[in-house]
Structure 1
Amino acid sequence: MARGKRSRRDRRGKPAASGTAADPTVSPDPTGPGGLPLPSPVASTNLVIADIVFRAAGAMLRERMEKGLLSKSYDAAKAERLVDARGLATTAALWGASRLARRSPLGLAVVAGGLAAKVFYDRGKRLEAKRRGRNLASKTSDSES
């Protein structure tokens, strides 16, 4: 008998019995902790299902939290537009930054440093705009007198 990829044999060289005994990932009665039934008898399928559910729930929670944080500063419609109007480049950059920050302490330091630099840059721009506004207001009040 040919011994190719398709012929399954157990440790003693005998052909493996078909069914659940030959495949250790398939359990005859798939139940989880507490006796809850699992969706599939194959463990890897259950892992994929759990991964998809957790990622979707995390994305929904994150989006809801972003809208909630923005709605404190803006009205609900503008907050929703800001969250939903992200482009592909912004989404990819955010994904890359979060991945870099998660993988190592050095990556976290780089991302945190970049965020701190962005905050200082934005504050500097705001202060500069205030200063320009005051200078412009003082010039117009001087020219009117």
Structure 2
Amino acid sequence: MTTPLTIAIGGDHAGFTYKTELIDFLTQAGYTVKDFGAHSTDSVDYPDFAHPVAAAVECGEFDRGILICGSANGVAITANKHQGIRAAICWQEELAALARQHNNANMVCIPARFIDVELAKAIINKFLTTDFEGGRHANRVNKMSC
């Protein structure tokens, strides 16, 4: 039996409602989850949450990260400033699978204003249960960092 992944999760005010539901979904599925905020729908700056989530994944404290904001663009751009992070914006399950299989993404970014929460759960489930294929993809992933 394998140990469930540990998950760091965060987002801004636009992602707060989804984040709350996703934490319940993940916890019920047996994952260990840490909420890095935001903790309400009050307007906040997404880098204040994206950086700590990315840093926690980058240093190995958590296996994977999930970020949620309105478009997912801001949190993805912020997270990808970290050398050890490969954050993928996903709005379909197939994109989540490919992000893992081909890019060894370690963070998924969800656009809360463009998909419903049930699709977000399906995307996250796909992201967390799909393995990296390695092989020719490993060569490409190894060239990503500056």
TM-score scaled by length of structure 1: 0.25
**Higher relative contact order structure (alpha carbons within 8 Å, sequence separation ≥ 6):** 2
TM-score scaled by length of structure 2: 0.25
Could you say which structure has the higher helix fraction? 1
